[in-house]
Amino acid sequence: MLPPSAGLFVAKEGNGVRVAELPALRTARLVLRPFTMADAAAVQRLAGASEVASTTLNIPHPYEDGMAEAWIASHAPAFTRNELAVLAISFPDRALIGAISLRLEPLHRRAELGYWVGVPFWGQGYATEAAQAVLAFGFETLGLNRIYATHLLRNPASGRVMEKIGMRCEGTNRQHVWKDDRFEDLVRYAILSCDPRPPSP
């Protein structure tokens, strides 16, 4: 087990040190893989929907030209710095459904889980399936101890995803964020590496 101060992804290679590449993960229906620039148009279309932006904290609206490319270009450097691991949620043919990420805090061996799914794919269990795989990756490969997530109080569907993957509600931060010209309550969930997790579908 890595000490709390260690970087999560550093591996020895010869006389030097390299940072491991973010792998692709497979589930029953999905492939979770690093984004490529070929995904930019689909990111702009799916993340650009007002329904997606309304229920997330970090997706701009309108989603303007060039934003997707800049976002995708930021992934590899952020992973190299042990800050962020972002994966595309896609079908086996690489068609994009959404995105899922771990915002890493190596000092404390914890990470924040985040995800979004395009509106045409809502209500089909894709977020839950992807999140289960990323939890396993975070605990079993990255050696994390705690993974947490938050959702806007008015978006209970996201909370149901967190419950289905075994997270426990830890409380509500009242008027915790400013979004769309109003304060919003934020509900926090978390799971520890020692907590039971539901079996993968």
Give, in order, the Cα–Cα distances in Å from 50 to each of 44, 46, 98, 118: 11, 9, 14, 11
Chain segment 109-146, per-residue pLDDT in tens: 999 999 999 999 999 999 999 999 999 999 999 999 99
Digit-coded pLDDT (tens) for 82-109: 999 999 999 999 999 999 999 999 999 9
Return the pLDDT at 201. 62
Six token digits for residue 4: 């709390």
Average pLDDT rounded to a whole number, residues 142-164: 96
User: CATH assignment of 10-192, given 3.30.60.50, 3.30.1490.20, 3.40.630.30, 3.60.20.10?
Assistant: 3.40.630.30
For the chain, give every domain's residue range: 10-192
In sequence order, what E strands does the chain have? Answer: 10-13, 16-19, 25-26, 31-33, 84-90, 96-105, 110-117, 146-152, 168-179, 182-192
CB of 90 closer than 8 Å to CB of 36: no
pLDDT in tens, 16-67: 333 467 899 999 999 999 999 999 999 999 999 999 999 888 898 899 999 9
* Range in 86-95, 144-153, 178-187 with the lowest mean pLDDT: 178-187
Task: Record the pTM.
Answer: 0.90
**pLDDT tens profile 54-80:** 988 889 889 999 999 999 999 999 998
Confidence of residue 12 (pLDDT cuts 50, 70, 90): very low
Query: How many C-beta atoms lie closer than 10 Å to residue 35's C-beta?
Result: 23
